[in-house]
Amino acid sequence: MSIFDLSIAAAAKALKAKEFSAVELTTAYNEAVAALNPRLNAYITVTPELALEQARAADSRIADGSATPLTGIPLAMKDLFCTESVRTTAGSSILEPFIPPYESTVSAKLKAAGAVMLGKANLDEFAMGSSNTTSHYGAVENPWKRLGSDAKLVPGGSSGGSAAAVAARIALAATGTDTGGSIRQPASFTGLAGIKPTYGRCSRWGVVAFASSLDQPGPMARNVEDNALLLNAMAGFDQKDSTSANREVPDFCLALGRGVKGLKIGIPREYRLEGTNPEILALWDKGIEWLKAQGADIVNISLPHTKYGLPVYYIVAPAEASSNLARYDGVRFGKRVDGEDLIDLYERTRAEGFGPEVKRRIMIGTYVLSHGYYDAYYLKAQKVRNLILRDFTDAFGSVDAILTPTAPSAAFGLDEKMDDPVTMYLNDVFTVPASLAGVPAMSVPAGLSAEGLPLGLQVIGRHFDEETVFAVSAAIESAAGFSALPELRAK
């Protein structure tokens, strides 16, 4: 087995046994990044020297017995997390010169655990996109290929750089953020496991904001166990974040072997959308049979307001984005384009600094918040959002978890859907409802399409019940036995 095929748990065991050092592991990954990143564009900024410095510190911790399960593990950090003294761009031209003087809470927790940062992963600009093609720093290429084709595919978005890096073995795992599916959908497109925790489980402090009531950091990794190890370190209450939940963080790894016997698994009829790829529905049916065979009870449920999820999301998220992105004005930090007066400076800076998708969402958000339209759009969307939350609350009165597809298709081509924003937005149709409700949800790789591309299943749980999500996800992972690998990867 190649060093690049080791999971976090296996690499941590090998580090402890002195089979190789953290410096040797990091050097291998640095070399893999140098070789493959020019093709994949998964990283915006690489930090090989910093990674080696952190690896040397990790070796010292391993030697003195103070190591954690993440000590010496090479990670990619989504370029939405502020990292002290390391450029943070959010995939945007307007933040190109920004070097934070502080560390985000999540990245600080991973650093404290001894993890090694290989670099800052590419993303859709300000996390706005479902394909990782809106980044100012260029599109990310999915390391997977269709059978018999060399066409470039998207890795999904917005955390596409993180997903591509882990799938291509140029990071052992990565951080992501999920606003409407930005961890789960790219995980599905690249054959990874990724979890959006309950809203408030991980601190948002130091994470560049898109939509504050939806954004939630989470991990992406090779398997379910690695996600549990990462979330153990990333989660926790943070006084600096007013939306952070003051809840005890359990050891999520303990849930992995619980099994699903006796659990009630909900199957929402509304997710069988007309026009969904039959392969997706067939995989969903297979997932139901896997859980049934392991002793779970399958319960048909209804989430009647699911059909309003996307319209609500594309009112609420742009509205919050238009407010959050007002701070990028060329005055305090980031790019500045001089003008004839202050207003002209604002206009020139924002016109040059933001890309087309960000401008589109700012315009939509400003419109729905404007006088005369606030009640008709934004206020009504918030009311429907409450109904979507109530659907989940009612469903979890009778089931322990919910199983759905993650995405309506496998990865698509880099040149497909680019000129049709509405079709692009439909990629989040299965992931958005859980985001609006704030419940935890995880994508698990469960099979391959007829074209040889990964497909994922989504497990949704009650608020702050990531443990059941992990238990069900581990059961699916075990039954699926997914072991396929992309051609473009470090070997």
- Identify whether the C-beta of residue 462 lies closer than 8 Å to the C-beta of residue 199: no
Q: What kind and span of H or E run contains 299?
A: strand 297-301
State how far the Cα of 337 lies from the Cα of 342, in Å rounded to an integer: 11
- Identify whether the C-beta of residue 398 lies closer than 8 Å to the C-beta of residue 298: no
Q: Which residues contact 241 (CB under 8 A, 6 or more apart)?
A: 105, 203, 204, 205
21, 158, 188, 322: the catalytic one is 158
- Identify whether the C-beta of residue 224 lies closer than 8 Å to the C-beta of residue 477: yes
To the query of whether residue 149 is one of the catalytic residues in this protein, the response is no
Report DSSP letters for 213-227, one per residue: TT-EEEEEESSHHHH
Q: What kind and span of H or E run contains 49?
A: helix 48-64
| Neighbouring C-beta atoms of residue 486, cutoff 10 Å | 19
To the query of whether residue 286 is one of the catalytic residues in this protein, the response is no
Question: What does the block give as tokens for 354?
Answer: 């933001």
Burial class (CB in 10 A: 0-12, 13-18, 19+), 375: exposed
Alpha helices by DSSP H, 191-277 = 224-234
21, 78, 120, 203: the catalytic one is 78
182, 188, 203, 435: the catalytic one is 182
To the query of whether residue 109 is one of the catalytic residues in this protein, the response is no
Q: Which residues are catalytic?
A: 78, 158, 182
